[in-house]
Amino acid sequence: MASGKRGRTPNFSDTAIQFCLTIKGPFGLALRQRMGMVKSLPKLAGLPWQAPDYSTVCRRQKTLKVRIPYRPASQGLHLLVDSTGLKMMGEGEWKCKKHGAEYRRQWRKLHLEIDAETMEIRAVEVTTNSVGDAPMLPALLGQIDAAEALLSVSGDGAYDTKACHEATARRAAQAIIPVSKTPGNPGRRTAPEPTCATRSCARHSD
């Protein structure tokens, strides 16, 4: 069936390519070893199926749109959002500590949204290290199915911006985000009223 894109229709689906790349986790195999294993599976099952070769997987993984399997939340979704750094190039930490770095290390930032109940990854984005956390929250929320009820979004003070609160409000969810300590933050909100315990401590200190 024609897809409207240049070139012929690929023989293998994105799901097949993603499977070939995913089995590295449980088996710890290099890519060529994985492709040999994948080709042997249909033969062992007695199925006349073809498997992608090494060159096909290498070419397709550059533009692969990864689909993350998940279980929809039955009682509403509570999301945890955060980011972490990924070192893409550079020597090991021991070598850098003992002898110094010979060339500059390169980093990427991994942005994640996780289901607070099942701890499953629900949304993911990879950016350069210069991209902040807050600008990526609307894109992460866009990966959540609009038909799925979203109850809350929890993150640290880096997400205390106007854009983040507006993106969360559009999904009719509660933003559980502490007030940012950065002066002049456009998303900064008024500090909450002091609790009874705070007032009591203040009286005793006087």
Report whether pLDDT(112) > 80: yes
Q: What stretches of 13-127 show up as alpha helix (H) in DSSP?
A: 14-22, 24-27, 31-45, 54-60, 93-99
Domain ranges, ordered by start, for the chain? 14-60, 77-176
Q: Domain 77-176: which topology? A: Nucleotidyltransferase; domain 5 (3.30.420)
Rounded to 10 degrees, the C-alpha dihedral 127/133/135/141 comes to 90
- Residue 196 above 70 pLDDT? no
The Cα 146–Cα 143 span in angstroms is 9
Using an 8 Å Cβ cutoff, are 134 and 158 in contact? yes
pLDDT band at 194 (very low <50, low <70, confident <90, very high): very low
Q: What is the pLDDT of residues 49-105, one digit of tens each?
A: 888 989 999 998 888 887 777 777 778 899 999 999 887 766 666 666 777 766 666
- Residues near 53 by Cβ (< 8 Å), separated by ≥ 6? 35
pTM: 0.61
* pLDDT confidence tier of residue 192, bands split at 50, 70 and 90: very low
Residue 43 has pLDDT above 70, yes or no: yes
User: What separation, in Å, do the N-terminal and C-terminal C-alpha atoms of the chain show?
Assistant: 79
Task: Provide the residue type at 118 as one letter.
Answer: T
User: Cα 104 to chain center, whole Å?
Assistant: 25
Lowest mean pLDDT among 50-59, 65-74, 131-140, 179-188: 179-188
Confidence bin at 23 (pLDDT 50/70/90):
confident
